[in-house]
Structure 1
Amino acid sequence: MPLALNNAKADCSVRMDKGHKHRSHEDRLKIVLDKLEDRVGKRNAALIRSFIGFLRSEGIGPLRMIKYTHHMVSFARIVKKALDKVNESDVRAALSSLEEKGYSDWTKHDYKVAVRRFYKWLRDNDNPPEVSWIKIKSYGKCKLPEELLTEEEVKLMASKATNLRDKAFVLVLYESGARIGEMLGLKIKNVTFDEYGAAIIVSGKTGMRRIRIVASAPMLAEWLDNHPLRNDPDAPLWIGLWTKNYLKPLDYPAAAKMLKTLAKRAGIKKRIYPHLFRHSRASHLANILTEAQMKEYFGWKQDSEMAAVYVHLSGRDLDKALLRASGMPIEEDLEVKEFRLIMCQRCKEQNSPGISFCRRCGAPLDLKVALELDEKKNSEIAELKDMMKELCKLITVIG
């Protein structure tokens, strides 16, 4: 393949630096690429830049491209030779070195994916000899219940946070079920509040989508009220609060570290990583939402099997069938697992279980109801637009 040598080089009341520039994921990617010569030499830097250019043409986002770059830099430093001169023995030795360093399964998985994809691109071959032998295991797609976070654990983690940003981040990350890249890419203007809670507009690998949040909306509003850059719609929603990264976009390492710290404070012994919140939320909502609603909410393509996997693992349909076969009287609505008072997240009024709207302010008390109201509102708006079009046609004919 021809080489394109293109030179693509705690306390929220803190003071705001008016000259600060918000660093986007694209800015971070450019910084990483600009430093390549110093890290891996001119030849390998050119190869990696060309590879990143290819990934961009394939629609890969900047956050993912940064990860690919880091993995290829690490690989180049291990093999200590030009990447286009590497053979199978070099790759095997590099991966063996990776195994000896005690990295997590996910890190090793992503590393192998990056190396294999690089050589498929470089050799213009789907099965190049350097990496054809690499077997990619699938980690984390189907988590056992004991590996997932419970709602109580999520709330406990939020309660251990010492600032509003961390509290809001934990609750929104869980309730939205968003990918971590989608969360970190949010800007203040991507959040809107309404009578049901809030909606956030995220941009992910399947495009842009709107996510309804209810329980975490009050905490998100409180964080925004105290956000140092709250008057700038283009400011990052999640920013650094401390000296080193103050007012800069929160990045993946910082977010992952924050979540692990909160889990440790909460006494949670499970393996904690950002995507676990999405796994956990999907598992919980599989008991409530339809597969179609799951796909829309989590941003899965219509031909994706992920929604069906979570519904299958939830056992909701199988449980009902087995109980009926055993002659057991069952309630059709098996999603209510605890009989407890429900506190309205808007006015803090306590409500009895089994009702959908707050008796004091009328706000919906669960996500399913809020989604149904959103669907109804969108349908009414569409009908109104159609009526307006017909009215305009009629006026034109009469006039």
Structure 2
Amino acid sequence: MIDYEQLIDKWIADDVKYKKGDWRIGKKLLPEQRETLGRYSRNCRRNRKHSFKTIYNTINVLHRLSLSIQKPYEEMTAHELEDYLLSRKISDSALNTEKMIVQTFFKYIYSTDYKPEPVKWIKCKTEPRKYTSDDVLTIEEIDLMISKCKSTRDKTLVAMFYDTGGRIGELIENSNYGDLKQDNRGMYIRVRGKTGERPIRLKDSVVYLNDYLDDHPSKKPSDPLFVSNDVKRLSTRQAYRIVKNAARDAKIEKNVFPHLFRHTKITHMAPLVSDQILKKQFGWKPSSRMTENYVHVSEDMQDRAICEAYGIKITEEEDVKNELRTIKCNNCQTVNPYSYAKCSNCKLFLHQDDNQLVETPEEITRKSVIQVLDEFGISATELKIMAYQKAKQKKLKAQQEDEEEYFKYGGGNMDDYKWMEKMNEEGNF
């Protein structure tokens, strides 16, 4: 789990590593700025109105502002703040968030509930982005995205984004292997979010999750649930890329991103449960009005609800269930994801008579390799890690050999070395 409290202290202490070429390299907070930011950070933590992640994002925004306008906050003018904020090359929603952060911060500095002079000009839009029923994903689109994923981890991630309707921070940054639980009703996961900890019952993603857990490189409860190829916690940026790539490969023209699965799941669940259950399930306070922003009722949903109220029966063809597609193996009765060609349990073909298909030499070799790996207790993920480490060692060895050849010719320019080698081959030396 990311320690945001520690990261906050690092920002205030200027103990931050920037990417190469970042304009902030070499810049430091003024002593007055550092003192004020530290005091504001402690005040935010003491009041406990926001999560550590929110406070971290706030300090991040103010740190950037402080390095751009290097003078005590009380001396900053409205003109300087306006120039800075208008120069930010970010989306309208992100800019609106930064304006609110700066406005609140200057109210704190001037100890007032009203907007002080430097931020009087700021106008924040409180209207959230409006989504329609056409923006949310269909079950068919989600199934197609899962089928285009190239690994069990990616399939599971996409399935769980929909199944849980969770925020990206809850699933990626805060979820560990030990947060998955089993009871007599099935599997659920305990997530930690803005409103604390809550359980989320799993259904559609379980068939994918079981396969992924078999390949998981670690079974320690404290280890991340979703890991990258180098066995570190998967980053939110990597999760975004996985979702974007799956949507692209599935040729979905909508703007697909992790949070859209939350909109989709809440829209699908809204007709089935009460408003208070919905708020509890998705991590909102009982008094929250967030359902207004997340429930996107289509004309079909409206008409079906009215028909049910009037006692008009819905035919089986019309009764579309919002569930990810699965297929049961005819041989062992195991429920598998519909996109699987073979049963995850008995390895027989799912979508056609396996007797009509002849295994290729490649398939026979693959089975033999898997059998040997199983005998030695090596998972597919562990094999990938070993291959990655081997490739890394091979690359380092090649670099060392190049350096040895390089010094053979007096440590000259590598291009000179290659030119001399070519001339030697042609007999010109």
**Superposition TM-score, scaled by structure 1 size:** 0.69
The alpha carbon displacement at 1:239 in A equals 2.6
The alpha carbon displacement at 1:193 in A equals 2.8
1:221 aligns with one of 178, 192, 210: 210
Q: Distance in 2 between matches of 1:83 and 1:255?
A: 37
Aligned position for 1:65: 55
CA contact (8 A) 1:287 1:314 kept: no
Percent identical: 28
Q: Distance in 1 between matches of 2:47 and 2:317?
A: 43
The alpha carbon displacement at 1:211 in A equals 0.6
CA contact (8 A) 1:180 1:274 kept: yes
Are residues 1:274 and 2:258 paired?
yes
Q: Distance in 2 between matches of 1:40 and 1:80?
A: 9
CA contact (8 A) 1:55 1:65 kept: yes
The alpha carbon displacement at 1:208 in A equals 1.2
Aligned CA distance change for structure 1 residues 309 and 340 (closer, same or farther; 3 Å): closer
Are residues 1:105 and 2:92 paired?
yes
Cα deviation code 1:183-202 (max 9, x no counterpart): 22111111113454421111
Cα deviation code 1:69-96 (max 9, x no counterpart): 2222232233343333222222211121
Aligned CA distance change for structure 1 residues 139 and 220 (closer, same or farther; 3 Å): farther
Q: Distance in 2 between matches of 1:285 and 1:55?
A: 35
Letter aligned with residue 120 of structure 1:
K
Aligned position for 1:156: 144
Aligned position for 1:35: 14
Cα deviation code 1:367-387 (max 9, x no counterpart): xxxxxxxxxxxxxxxxxxxxx
Aligned position for 2:113: 126
Q: Distance in 1 between matches of 2:247 and 2:322?
A: 27
Q: Distance in 2 between matches of 1:213 and 1:288?
A: 16
Aligned position for 2:424: none
**Farther off after superposition, 299-308 or 315-324:** 315-324
Q: Which has the larger radius of gyration?
A: 2
CA contact (8 A) 2:263 2:295 kept: no
Aligned CA distance change for structure 1 residues 226 and 307 (closer, same or farther; 3 Å): same
CA contact (8 A) 2:5 2:56 kept: no
CA contact (8 A) 2:106 2:119 kept: yes
Q: Distance in 1 between matches of 2:301 and 2:166?
A: 26
Q: Secondary structure at the match of 1:193?
A: strand
CA contact (8 A) 2:12 2:38 kept: yes
Aligned position for 1:79: 69
Aligned residues: 321
Q: Secondary structure at the match of 2:182?
A: strand
CA contact (8 A) 2:191 2:199 kept: yes
Q: Distance in 2 between matches of 1:247 and 1:46?
A: 38
The alpha carbon displacement at 1:176 in A equals 0.6
CA contact (8 A) 1:174 1:277 kept: yes
Aligned position for 1:49: 38
**Superposition TM-score, scaled by structure 2 size:** 0.64
The alpha carbon displacement at 1:249 in A equals 2.6
Unaligned 5+ segments in structure 1 are 1-21, 351-399
Aligned position for 1:91: 81
Aligned position for 1:192: 181
Q: Distance in 2 between matches of 1:287 and 1:227?
A: 36
Cα deviation code 1:205-262 (max 9, x no counterpart): 21211111101022223222222222x1111212332xxxx33333333323332233
Q: Secondary structure at the match of 1:137?
A: coil
